[in-house]
């Protein structure tokens, strides 16, 4: 029986989100990419960074639902980025960095809304995470895949990604690969 499912979401720079989910049990694959835009054809990273295409930087994860639930994935996602920042995460500013959950079916839409409602009291500010149907997912260029793994000594990884990984390891230790 095939227990593999997909989830697509963005919470700022996809390098950060990808690094987080590569450490989670049950995640079989993580692909950085783009979704939610209005420009025709496959966008490039440069086009996405302009903010003119309307796409968000996202990741698409393939996961084994016998090991981790979609709800658990969303809780990890919502607690390892700031879902109260509109069109930004820290110094990364623009619609391409928006907090967004792209659902693949009605069940995922319902779970996303339930998770956001449950987490709302945890935050002092309003959660602005968008919940939208997935239309098209475009895989990002090769240099954006496994970015953290391949660039751990870069300043961005040290100052932006490492704190998110530390938050993951503190808050969700029971969900991490041994």
Catalytic residues: 13
Residue 29: in which H helix or E strand, if any?
strand 27-35
| Residue 160 token pair | 């932006």
Residue 131 · residue 116 · CB < 8 Å: yes
- Give the strand order in the sheet containing 137-139: 130-133, 99-103, 4-11, 56-64, 27-35, 137-139
**β-pair type (99-103, 4-11):** antiparallel
For the chain, the straight-line distance linking the first and the last C-alpha, in angstroms and rounded, comes to: 25
User: 17: closest CA among 82, 94, 107?
Assistant: 82
| Residue 12 token pair | 């700022």
């Amino acid at each position: 029986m095939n227990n593999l499912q997909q989830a697509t979401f963005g919470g700022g720079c996809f390098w950060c989100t990808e690094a987080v989910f590569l450490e989670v049990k049950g995640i079989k694959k993580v692909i950085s990419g783009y979704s939610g835009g209005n420009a025709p054809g496959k966008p490039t990273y440069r086009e996405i960074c302009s903010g003119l295409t309307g796409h968000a930087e996202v990741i698409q994860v393939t996961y084994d639902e016998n090991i981790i639930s979609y709800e658990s994935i969303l809780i990890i996602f919502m607690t390892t980025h700031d879902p109260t920042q509109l069109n930004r995460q820290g110094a990364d500013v623009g619609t391409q960095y928006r907090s967004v959950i792209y659902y693949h079916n009605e069940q995922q839409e319902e779970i996303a809304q339930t998770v956001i409602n449950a987490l709302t009291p945890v935050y002092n500010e309003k959660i602005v995470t968008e919940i939208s149907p997935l239309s098209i997912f475009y895989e990002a260029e090769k240099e954006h895949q496994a970015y953290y793994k391949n660039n751990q000594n870069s300043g961005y990884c040290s100052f932006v990604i490492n704190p998110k990984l530390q938050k993951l390891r503190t808050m969700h230790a029971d969900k991490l690969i041994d």
